[in-house]
Amino acid sequence: MRQLIGLFLFIFVLLCLLPLFLVKCTPAPPGITVQLYLNEEKKIIALDLEEYVKGVVAAEMPAEFDLEALKAQAVAARTVAVRRMRRFGGTGYPAAPGADLSDDVRDSQAWLGRRQLIAKWGLWNYPRYWRKISAAVEGTSGLILTYEGRPIDALYHSTSGPRTANAEELWGKPVPYLKSVPCSFGQHSPRYRQERVFTVQELLSALGLAEERAAGGLALRILKRTPSGRVDTMQIGTHVFSGTELRSRLGLASTNFTVHSREGKVVFTTVGYGHGVGLCQYGADGMAKAGKTFQEILQYYYQGVELKKLRLN
């Protein structure tokens, strides 16, 4: 009996693990290799471009999303990579000579390997999700977004709120294909609306205003909003801050926020999550669920762009 149970367990584990080795991997066009710097391991690894894109899509977008949204993410991620790759005239990753990109989301885009994905999804879900991610990447193989013949800066973010933002709201200069558009498709995002609450002292400390004195109450006034509705500048006490500075210092989900006092505390209510420029990931999922194709999604969030098949130099 014990042997029978042991045999059953062995077969069960084998069936769980077998799909990990049966997942189909379609290579990129010959010779397109990404040199990826792994921050935690402090080393560079060489990856097939399409396999790299799979790891980015799996890291950057929920695998539960609609397939067309995952395809849109795959094209955006591939475009980001190609724009940075040294073989295509990009700057690479200067912090690690020889690398094209890193797996640090603060540098370019996140990337997860197989072990990390099993930890993220669980052993049972891994084969199903990996097949879905692979289908999205393979279904867009080699496609990138271009503007006037060059790969675009394919920015993307989680949740835009009512509108995406113009590039100049983030960088101070316009980009023709990164214009604000209405976005009513991402309201199912769990981060669509959030609150952060501070005591007056916590707020002043976070902003480096420990010496500020609130005579008759702390002045809290939004001075100017951007065309997409985000905070451009705000007065706190006697100081004026930009919306992006406040988001960074206070850990706010976005620069689209309102402020009010409640029970002696300062409450920031944010709408959206991320910088708001380019592709809205939850918006893409909402559009896909409404029947839009990945091409329609991409051409909505990136204006005037073309989809082109990547060619070897």
State residue 212's pLDDT score: 65
Higher pLDDT residue, 297 or 2? 297
Helix axes 126-138, 67-84, angle to 10 degrees: 60
Task: Tally the C-alpha atoms within 13 A of residue 13's C-alpha that lie toward its C-beta.
Answer: 6
Q: Do 51 and 33 contact (CB within 8 A), yes or no?
A: no
State residue 210's pLDDT score: 73
The pLDDT of residue 142 is above 50? yes
Amino acid symbol at 203? L
Which pLDDT band holds residue 36 (cuts at 50, 70, 90)? very high
Query: Which residues are CB-neighbours of 271 under 8 A, at least 6 positions away?
Result: 161, 162, 192, 193, 254, 256, 257
Write the pLDDT tens digit of every residue in 158-216. Answer: 999 999 999 999 999 999 999 999 999 999 999 999 999 999 999 999 999 876 665 45
State residue 108's pLDDT score: 82
Q: Do 144 and 151 contact (CB within 8 A), yes or no?
A: yes
Distances (CA, A) of 126 to 46, 57, 135, 196: 23, 14, 14, 34
Which pLDDT band holds residue 31 (cuts at 50, 70, 90)? low
State residue 12's pLDDT score: 42
Q: Whole-number mean pLDDT of the chain?
A: 90
Which pLDDT band holds residue 66 (cuts at 50, 70, 90)? very high
Write the pLDDT tens digit of every residue in 204-223. Answer: 999 998 766 654 568 899 99
Which pLDDT band holds residue 312 (cuts at 50, 70, 90)? low
Lowest mean pLDDT across 15-24, 41-50, 98-107, 245-254:
15-24
State residue 30's pLDDT score: 57
Percent of the chain past pLDDT 70, that is, above it, reads 87
Percent of the chain past pLDDT 90, that is, above it, reads 83
Task: Tally the C-alpha atoms within 13 A of residue 71's C-alpha that lie toward its C-beta.
Answer: 21
> Which of 249, 254, 246 has its CA nearest to residue 228?
254
Lowest mean pLDDT across 17-26, 30-39, 262-271:
17-26
